[in-house]
Amino acid sequence: MNIMITNFHTGNGGGHTTYIMNIVKYFDYNKGKLFVACPPESRLYKELISSGFNNVFPLYFPNERLKPPSLDGDFDFNFLTYARLRGAWFDDFQSSAPKCANPPTSVGGS
């Protein structure tokens, strides 16, 4: 079994650095391989390298929001409406969504 842990924090970090370092320290290498991907300037990356952990990969994670998919049908509109009600937010949702003749008044009901 291979496990990849990702961490996008670039700075000094915090609890996540301690948490991941403990996972690396106590991981049973007989049951699988552990890999960590994080930005090379992060405290986590520096600590992993200095501890002799070889399966660390320098990786940047983009910090930009995704554009919503094209809305070409009622199902797509209802799905994104539901996602927004559940807390998701898309920057250009209002400007990119086509005008719906009969927008739903509730999600999940009949």
Per residue in 64-86, pLDDT tens?
666 666 656 666 666 666 666 66
Cα angle, residue 70 at apex, residues 64 and 76 outer, rounded to 5°: 110
Yes or no: say if 48 and 36 are a contact pair by the CB < 8 Å rule. yes
The whole-number pLDDT of residue 27 equals 83
| pLDDT tens per residue across span 95-105 | 444 555 555 55
The whole-number pLDDT of residue 2 equals 85
Q: Any residues with CB less than 8 A from the CB of 11 and at least 6 apart, and which?
A: 41, 42, 43
The whole-number pLDDT of residue 60 equals 84
Q: Which helix (H) or strand (E) holds 34?
A: strand 33-38
User: What's the average model confidence in pLDDT over 26-44?
Assistant: 84
pTM, whole model, 2 decimals?
Answer: 0.55
